[in-house]
Structure 1
Amino acid sequence: MAEAAESLPPVAEIYNPNSPEYMTDPITQCLALAERGPLVWYEPWQAWIMTQMEDIMGCWKTEPLSSDFYDWEFAPQRPPEDEWSNFERAMIGHSLLADQSHHRVVRRVTAPAFSRNVVDNIQAKIEPEIKKLFDELGEPESFDYIEAIANHIPFISITRMVGIPEKYWPEIKKVIVTFTETWNPTISDEQREAARQDSNKAIDIIKEVITERRQAPVQDDFLSTLLRIEEENEGFEEGDIITMILALIGAGADTTLVAQQWTVYSLLKHKDQIDKALATPDTFSNAFSEISRWGVASKMGFARYAPDNMQFMGQQLRKGVMVLMMPHLKDYNLKYYDNPEIFDVEREFNPDVMFGYGPRFCIGAALAKRQLYLTVSELHRRFPNIELAEEPERDPTDHNAIVFKRLLLRTHCG
């Protein structure tokens, strides 16, 4: 057995998410990586990769590893408190990615802000703006969906969902979308520092909006809800509000752009399933899990760090080493799915772990899926005969996912 393992090529030769081969066919590399074992050392990232879903779910549930970026062995030195910028104030002690006990408190007290009623109210706010976006598009014979529609959706959500006034749009639009790069351990130090500086500017804007809102409360947006929660719950502070807004806008802007592209692309590649997918918000919720599974757009996973020298899954981990949980490695694995090559929007997901699991289930999942459902439903209502005008070229420059350079659609209008 040992001789067989030694004869295998290095992991970096079979798995490279930044390679042209992965861009074209991620499935082959994902399956090959998962076959190497439940915990695989990946030299290029100086990280262990967790490949099996049951182990990932267990890690999400029991949290034996740290989520704090500053616990990474190659992270910048944690600055002393008297040198913290706005970014450190928001991320240290308030981060949804860090302290486990505080994270659970935040989830508990903010759960009402993500109820079905709240999601329905937010739909009423953003739906007219989505319709307006399509009104402005008109009836072109063809158009690039990414440029004309997808790129605008995150910022509609900013103003209508979170409640950041439109006067701040031009300034915050330039700095908010890089927030998720601040904790991406696979990019350069220079990229991460640029994202950190952008985040500081975004936090300045959010703090200004919070100050305004305290003086003139508004009752029916997400920020107002968080301010009420702050008043009623000791231990939930302004830093938590800022972190949650950053996560919703920053991560939302990043993942929403990816989700918009792959949803439209996947459904147009399987037009016979569009009606089933878009029948209701609930059918779309399940369809989106299949869209994400079928597309395999992810390049990396969820980063965790060994808090001490420790035994973990049969391996000796050094303090600070990164462990990447990669749930997308299961997406074409026969162990988890029958006929994985078939796209089926009615496929059963039990459990559905696309947005995490247990205490780390994404609290904003329902919001993300609802805005996506509204946009794609409006697209097909306006253009019932729409189709792909070309097979889109994939863009290798995204730091976290496989995306398209453009998504050209033909409407058959005019």
Structure 2
Amino acid sequence: MTATMAGTDRVEIDFSVYNPFTPEFSTDPWPVLDRLLREYPVAYHRDMGMWFVTSHEHAQEVLRSPRFSTRMTDWNNAPASTPESEWTLYEKVQQHSMLNVSPAEHQRLRRLTAPAFSRRVMDQIEARIRDNIGEVFDELPDQTAFDAATGIADKIPIRAIARMVGVPAEAESLFVHGLGWNAVRATNPMYAADRDTYIQGTIPGLEYLFESVAEHRAAAEAGRGSDDFIGTLVATEVDGQRLSDAEIVSVVIAVVVAGADTAVDLHTLALQAFLTHPDQWALLGERPELMEDAILEVLRWGAHGKFGGIPRFPLEDVELGGQVMEKGSFVMPLFATAFIDGRKWAEPRRFDITRSHAGNLVFGAGPHLCIGLNLVKVQGKLMLDEFRRRFGDTARIDGEVEYDSGHWNARRITRLPIRTGA
């Protein structure tokens, strides 16, 4: 049986209804996603042990409602707490993460970090990473035929985030691959069984970050403060309050996790979308002011991940869509279906960069709106600008697109062969 109504009228599904780890799902997710939207707006997946919320309306409610927590400690199956005396550097930093602090403390951190994400700082970051993106294209071994997944998408996020926080080239791997890759998994409840291994993998990168923050703070105290990303976080004062070193490091980790993982998919998805919709590529060239909407549309149209963003845990029994999600259960708003819900989006399978994105969930919603969204947008803009400057409208996908069906969340494109008229 693929779905059952339990004794409490709970709608349940299993892998026969939704198994996002198959090659078939990665290649063509539409039939599965359409069925989830049509038949299971809210359902408990007994093989995964979590609730899936598939409709845009219900997913938005979960993201915005104060009845749901982002703290892993509010999950019934959370790993046992480690005594404070045994905390690693990672666990000490996590006490200051926006995902783990109280709502009031979360608002305080948002106020203190806002200046670092201002238009002025983002413009500085754009100027700082523009040349790096050009260098990535320069490094393509053949400008007429290349794999955009390994040649472009795998490289740009690493360099962009490293430059954003002032990491030299020789520390890029330590910072993004070591810290970013492990932090994504250490903070995700789905990896609870191997959490200790991932935590240890973050330590060298965290030590590097604390040293960098200390250097920025010492420079500021000596009157030589900088107005770069970390320098702005160090210098910001609101109502007499400042960020501690651990709070600054927790913010940088959030940016690394958001920018290093999501942005990899943005670059391949953007090229796939525009090269299969040349009319939209031409339109973007004619109307560059559509760039921000275009990036949102790329992610709405193509970023059909296997789960959502940050899981939620009900602080009380919550009724939604006729289902009662128990206090402390694992709730996953499924962005893949919310992004193509026909009750929200007209002709959801159509890629249209002029579409209104009012109320979109691409970067989440509510108090935990993605902190790294501006960095992701800047990367996407610069990559597409450079691609157009070099190749104009001569590029096309030339071969089979391949996916990593085993990736924990994304429909990660691992091969995107492109041929150009360069």
For residues 48-84 of structure 1, give each alpha carbon's deviation from its aligned partner in whole angstroms, at most 9, with x where no partner exists.
Answer: 1122222322332232111112322222112122221
Q: For 1:142-198, what per-residue CA distance to the aligned partner results, in whole angstroms no more than 9, with x for missing partners?
A: 1111222222212222332122234433432440231211222334612x3332222
* 376-385 or 86-95, which deviates more: 86-95
Instruction: Quote the Cα distance in structure 2 between the aligned partners of 1:133 and 1:38.
Output: 42
**In 1, are the aligned partners of 2:162 and 2:175 still within 8 Å (CA)?**
no
Instruction: State the match for 2:300 in structure 1.
Output: 293
Paired position in structure 1 for 2:280: 273
Separation in structure 1 between the aligned mates of residue 161 and residue 375 of structure 2, nearest angstrom: 12
Q: Does 1:322 align with 2:323?
A: no
1:21/1:169 Cα in 2 relative to 1: closer, same or farther (>3 Å)? closer
Change (3 A) 1:336 1:18: same
Deviation at 1:397, TM superposition (A): 2.5
Supply the distance in 1 between the matched residues of 2:4 and 2:140 (Cα, whole angstroms): 59
Question: 2:371: which partner in 1?
Answer: 363
Evaluate the alpha carbon distance shift between residue 90 and residue 189 of structure 1 in structure 2; reply closer, same or farther with a 3 A threshold: same
Offset, 1:11: 4.2
Letter in 1 for 2:261: D
- Matches for 1:327-406 after TM superposition, within 5 Å: 327-384=335-392, 385-406=394-415
Match of 1:92 among 92, 95, 111: 95
Letter in 1 for 2:175: I
Matches within 5 A, 1:202-351: 202-217=205-220, 218-229=225-236, 233-234=240-241, 236-277=243-284, 282-301=289-308, 302-308=310-316, 310-313=317-320, 314-351=322-359
Cα distance 1:36–1:153, how it changes in 2: closer, same or farther (>3 A)?
A: same
Secondary structure, aligned partner of 2:189:
coil
| 2-structure distance, mates of 1:145, 1:279 | 24
Deviation at 1:296, TM superposition (A): 4.0
Identity fraction in percent: 30
Aligned equivalent of 1:65: 68
Alpha-carbon distance change, 370 to 278 in structure 1, aligned in 2, over 3 angstroms: farther
Q: Deviations over 1:228-284 (max 9, x none)?
A: 126975263222211110111122111111111111111111122113335666412
TM-score normalised by structure 1 residue count: 0.90
Aligned to 1:152: 155
Per-residue CA distance 1:331-380 (angstroms, 9 max, x = gap): 33321222222221111122232111232222321221011110121012
Alignment partners' CA distance in 2, 1:203 and 1:9: 41
Per-residue Cα deviation, 1:196-237 (whole angstroms, up to 9, x for no partner): 222222211111211222233451311111111269752632
- Structure 1, 21-30 or 254-263: larger mean CA deviation: 21-30
Number of aligned residue pairs: give it: 409
CA-CA distance at 1:304 after TM superposition:
0.9
The reply on whether 1:21 has 2:24 as its aligned counterpart is yes
- Output the CA distance in 2 between the equivalents of 1:397 and 1:59: 27
Q: Which amino acid aligns with 1:389?
A: D
Structure 2 CA distance for aligned equivalents of residues 224 and 318 of structure 1: 44
CA distance in structure 2 between the aligned counterparts of 1:398 and 1:97, rounded to whole angstroms: 25
Amino acid at match of 2:395: I
- Gaps in structure 2 of 5+ consecutive residues: none
Matched, 1:185 2:193: no
C-alpha deviation, 1:97, in angstroms: 5.0
State the partner residue of 1:126. 129
Q: Please give the secondary structure, in 2, of the residue aligned with 1:149.
A: helix
Aligned alpha-carbon RMSD (Å)? 2.6
Q: TM-score normalised to the size of structure 2?
A: 0.89
Counterparts of 1:9 and 1:70 in 2: how far apart (Å)?
Answer: 25
Q: Taking structure 1 as reference, are residues 173 and 37 closer, same or farther at Cα in structure 2, changes over 3 Å only? A: closer
In structure 2, relative to structure 1, the CA distance for the partners of 1:159 and 1:327 (3 Å cut) is closer
> What residue ranges of structure 1 are gaps of 5+ in the alignment?
none
Q: Which residue of 2 aligns with 1:411?
A: 420
Determine the structure 1 residue equivalent to 2:47. 44
Secondary structure of 1:163's aligned partner = coil
Matching residue's letter, 2:31: T
Distance 1:193 1:277, change over 3 A: farther
CA distance in 2, matches of 1:395, 1:347: 29
Q: Tell me the equivalent position of 1:12.
A: 15
